[in-house]
Structure 1
Amino acid sequence: MTSENDSTSAPRRQKVQAAEVGTDILKGLAELAPATSLSKLAEHVGMPASKVHRYLQALIASGFAEQDATTNHYGLGREALLVGLAAIGRLDVVKVSMPHLVELRDALNETCFLAVWGNKGPTVVHVEQALRAVTLVTQVGSVLPLLGSSTGLVFNTFLPEAETAPLRDEELAAGLAPSAAELQEQMAKIRATGLHPVQGLLMPGVNAVSAPLFATGHKLAGVITVVGAASAFRADTQGSAAERLHQTALAISERMGGKMPD
């Protein structure tokens, strides 16, 4: 005989199991980002393709997944991005940096942003756009090249070798980055100055200067960057903008109990 408790707990168990399956599929989409086919996703999560497809339709309907109409590949949707950004927002570096970035943006009238290290590399998590009528659009969620951006080069300099090596080797092999010798020279300059300026590296006509942020134990917590049009923004290590950026990075690092490694 089935008890009342058994009859009510069965649907509850089914809901929990369904939530677990949906979570596993979302994790699979994140691990195979930016997009993947149904067959690869099913193989990755160890489920029948028909079952994965059924759950994907529900995730798409709720905005947690999306399908590219051209390739039919699947990826994370807007709602998943918002959840991820909310989780990132709990990091101390985001909370501490936000008011400082507002002050920096107001002082320089140039776009300023914060990036942290994500599973695909340097990831923009907060942007303060310039107040002028024409601004440079840097989107939250953008993943920047490790060796093809000032932000990425700072990460490459201060993060442990084990974290950066796979992405660095991939970019070096693709010929889209400096030579190994040039890279070592750049890293030495970044360590010496705590800044890295570039002119038109990531985007023609756009200059940028980046600085590292450190937490307790000399651990790199993020990178802040100022970007501006080359016609008006001077990107070097000696100008007033670079000095203001450097002081901002030091203030944020001090607040988090960190400092530049010796």
Structure 2
Amino acid sequence: MSIDGRGVQSVEVGGRILSALVRAGRPLMLRELAAMAEVAPAQAHAYLLSFRKIQLVEQDAGSGRYRLGPFALQLGIARMRSFDPLRLAGAAVVELAEETGLMVTIAVWGTHGPTIVQVQEGNDQVHVNVRAGTVYSITGTATGKIFAAFMPSKIVEAQLAEELRKGARIQSVGTPTSRKELEAEVEKAKRLGYAPTESKPVTGINALAAPVFDHSGQMQLAITLIGPTGVLDVGPDSADAKTLLAFTRRLSAELGYTPHAVEAVAEPEAAPAQAASPGRRRRSA
């Protein structure tokens, strides 16, 4: 995000040093930290001394390495307490719909499975019956598959078993398939970082769904792009896939998600694929 206006350069330099510690996800020696922050070691040392005084940073007495301090943790906790993932995503998908021209939905895991909580229309009108409160099948939709791929299996399993038992009688969008087919789709979603569907469950309509994670690495919600087959490209190298992944990666970062930090605590069930930030999408007439 670009912010116009003149700021305080020294604060911004200090921010680069703190950002380097966050990106590293481990204690750093002075020279290594200075190199990552692109400042001279002597300059970094002066900033780190001030940061130590206010407990933003602390230094290990034995190794001399620097790590984030107690005050940094307090700041993070305060941020998490005051931040609502749905409010953040709800405001952001408005811009995503405008950028892509596609319908965008936000879904959470509800009592009956993947449940839509917000629908944002795009310029390309899509004739699908989707509204807040709509429940998606796990095996028959892109949104459902992404929850199956990145939510803890113990949470998904009960609803999945019920869906497969009822088959076409389920009261949700998308015709259930099979556990075997879902397993293949889950592996694909973990590899790509998103789940695609082509002309399913609605003929002529494609979808791409990707997860948003919180600071602990838990999936909080799914963002889904929906559009006509001739407009929404679900290929792994498509501009649409890259745009969606960049968007969900940014939302996850704003919720405190850092893949290396989560991996350092415990091996996650899956990690989202990283995508290069794409440029603005140009729509054809």
TM above 0.5, yes or no, is yes
Corresponding residue of 1:93 = 85
Does the 8 Å CA contact 1:215/1:253 hold for their aligned counterparts? yes
What is the number of equivalent residue pairs in this alignment? Answer: 173
Does the 8 Å CA contact 2:103/2:124 hold for their aligned counterparts? no
Does the 8 Å CA contact 1:150/1:197 hold for their aligned counterparts? yes
Instruction: Describe the shift of the 1:122–1:185 C-alpha distance in structure 2 as closer, same or farther (beyond 3 A).
Output: same
Instruction: Find out whether 1:169 has 2:161 as its counterpart.
Output: yes
Instruction: Find out whether 1:112 has 2:104 as its counterpart.
Output: yes
* Amino acid in structure 2 at the alignment position of 1:200: S
Corresponding residue of 1:36 = none
Identity of aligned residues (%): 26
Corresponding residue of 2:68 = none
Instruction: Describe the shift of the 1:254–1:202 C-alpha distance in structure 2 as closer, same or farther (beyond 3 A).
Output: same
Does the 8 Å CA contact 2:126/2:227 hold for their aligned counterparts? no
Instruction: Describe the shift of the 1:133–1:121 C-alpha distance in structure 2 as closer, same or farther (beyond 3 A).
Output: closer
Instruction: Describe the shift of the 1:133–1:148 C-alpha distance in structure 2 as closer, same or farther (beyond 3 A).
Output: closer
Q: CA deviation at 1:91?
A: 7.6
Corresponding residue of 1:179 = 178
Corresponding residue of 1:141 = 133
CA displacement 1:42-88 (0-9 Å, x = unmatched): xxxxxxxxxxxxxxxxxxxxxxxxxxxxxxxxxxxxxxxxxxxxxxx
CA distance in 1, matches of 2:246, 2:218: 18
Corresponding residue of 2:123 = 131
CA distance in 1, matches of 2:201, 2:258: 28
Structure 2: segments with no counterpart, 5+ residues: 1-81, 168-174, 260-269, 272-285
SS at match of 2:147: helix
Q: CA deviation at 1:232?
A: 2.3
SS at match of 2:222: strand
CA displacement 1:96-119 (0-9 Å, x = unmatched): 112321121111100001000111
CA displacement 1:128-149 (0-9 Å, x = unmatched): 1013466645211111111111
Does the 8 Å CA contact 1:111/1:228 hold for their aligned counterparts? yes
CA distance in 2, matches of 1:229, 1:199: 9
CA distance in 2, matches of 1:256, 1:126: 19
Normalised by the length of structure 2, the TM-score is: 0.56
Corresponding residue of 1:153 = 145
Equivalent runs, 1:64-103 vs 2, <5 Å: 92-103=84-95
CA distance in 2, matches of 1:198, 1:105: 19
SS at match of 1:113: strand
Does the 8 Å CA contact 2:126/2:228 hold for their aligned counterparts? no
Corresponding residue of 1:212 = 211
CA distance in 1, matches of 2:83, 2:199: 31
Corresponding residue of 1:245 = 244
Instruction: Describe the shift of the 1:243–1:214 C-alpha distance in structure 2 as closer, same or farther (beyond 3 A).
Output: same
CA distance in 2, matches of 1:206, 1:91: 34
CA distance in 2, matches of 1:94, 1:210: 16
Does the 8 Å CA contact 2:137/2:176 hold for their aligned counterparts? no
Normalised by the length of structure 1, the TM-score is: 0.61
CA distance in 2, matches of 1:114, 1:238: 23
CA distance in 2, matches of 1:133, 1:164: 32
Q: CA RMSD, aligned part only?
A: 2.0
CA distance in 1, matches of 2:88, 2:207: 22
Q: CA deviation at 1:203?
A: 1.2
CA distance in 2, matches of 1:245, 1:168: 26
Does the 8 Å CA contact 1:101/1:128 hold for their aligned counterparts? yes
* Amino acid in structure 1 at the alignment position of 2:107: A
Q: CA deviation at 1:94?
A: 1.0
